Structure 1
Amino acid sequence: MRPRIAITTWRRPLPTFVAERTLLHTLADEYVTCVRDVGGLPLLVPHVRGEQEADAVLDAVDGLLVAGGGDVDPASYGAANVASKDVDPEADTSELALLRCARRRRVPTLAICRGMQLAVVAAGGTLLQEIGRPGGVHEPISNDPDAVIGARHPVEVLDDTRLAAIFGAGTRTVNTIHHQAVDDLPAGLRVTAVAPDGVIEAVEPVDDPWPLLAVQWHPEKLEGADRMLFEAFVALARDAIRPVVAATP
């Protein structure tokens, strides 16, 4: 049986054939492709309204993928907005509920970019709202889409971590699409990869059986070894498959 993977979506107004602008729940195709290509069954999930709906979603799936999107509203971690863009408090509320329920239920979870930041916030951490420095490891985000997608930087994967079990410990190159990062890392999470400028690039739980893989970069936009992250995640979800009970006529 293919593991069912819930993938969060990002809500945005877009032109459609029925109206000039329609509010749609959207998702980059790479997420769907990466999950499907390694044997998962991708299921797109709109915003949930609280933990009761989050639990209902997780009842129906074997894994949770929290995808990238706009910046996390600083109000979610008790800060004023000084550099955050494209915030959506309703999206934050939805994905924080899904992450908290996933942790409580130990649902295998892959959190990417914004998803990793939300996993940190859900555990009580905070974020840096702007890390871009001209000439630095993390340059300011360019207005040129090709430059954004093409930007790369090295990260050091730390030994004796879940990430090292996937990629091996040591230096690897990842993409640079984010302009925010973890500031205060809460107790219960530990660093598993770091950039040369000290930016935290991946985290995992400490002394917690929750199977969380959380990375700051976008593996769905990379080829080769990064697909192993999806393979590892879907394998965790496959191990967690629960039988589906047919409804009684």
Structure 2
Amino acid sequence: MNISFMAHSLKKLKTNCLTLTCLLILPMQAFAFDSGEIEVTGQGSVVITPDQFSLTLTITERGRVPSKLKALVDKKSNSVISAAKNLGIRGTNITSARVNLRIVEERPSIQVQGIELNRARQGSVFIDGQSINQQSSNVNDHKKPLFELSRQIMVGFNKIDDYDSFLEQIIKLNVSHISSLSMTVEARGEYYQQALLQAISHAKQKAQRMSKQAGRNLGEIVFIKEMSSNHYSPMYAEAMMSDTSPKVHTSQVGSQTITARVSAKFRLKD
């Protein structure tokens, strides 16, 4: 009897606990429905092809006389700008004002750690046309520093074909450095607005499915927040061509995806 009584008590206790748990949960669920709102997120994307391109190249010369270096750099710079204008590129798409001049630290061509001379033959050893005594006293006064002068030129293109033609020309000019190609979209703001509208529609579709599953009807939108920003990082592509190739390489720009995200809140109707 005792065992049967204990089993019956445990069963009754379990039933009471289950009932108490339901009572605790149900008010929370009722409160969620009483709020009469549902909040969701949405995302939209637009795939586009870049239509604006820019290339930055550097012309560098080294020497002892800055004025001569400037003349050499100016000559190459003019050739680069002429090559761009011959392709129909407007002057507003060419920037060539950034110039840099620095002193290059040179390492001595001969490093002498120790030397021994007889006094009678002193002065019979020459380096760079001077005796050791003369050179040790005059080398710091007469040797001019080594300068490096460089100029950066940035050229913008509206067509990728112009970039290929321009690259073919400037390689012949022996420029010092050619950067990667930057690719952007001119009407990016308009495409982002399209993606934003898609994100709102996506949020509404999600809210409709969720409210239907909950047995409610979806009402008007009461709150919307943009979760993304129209911030853009330009894409880059390596500029690669080969003079030994029997066929000239044609650059391919590919595509880009502009994405927008929103958070939206809708009313629920019975």
Q: TM-score by structure 2 length?
A: 0.19
Q: TM-score by structure 1 length?
A: 0.21
Report 1 or 2 for greater relative contact order, CA contacts < 8 Å, sequence distance ≥ 6: 2
**Which structure is higher in helix share?**
2
Give the structure with higher Rg (CA).
2
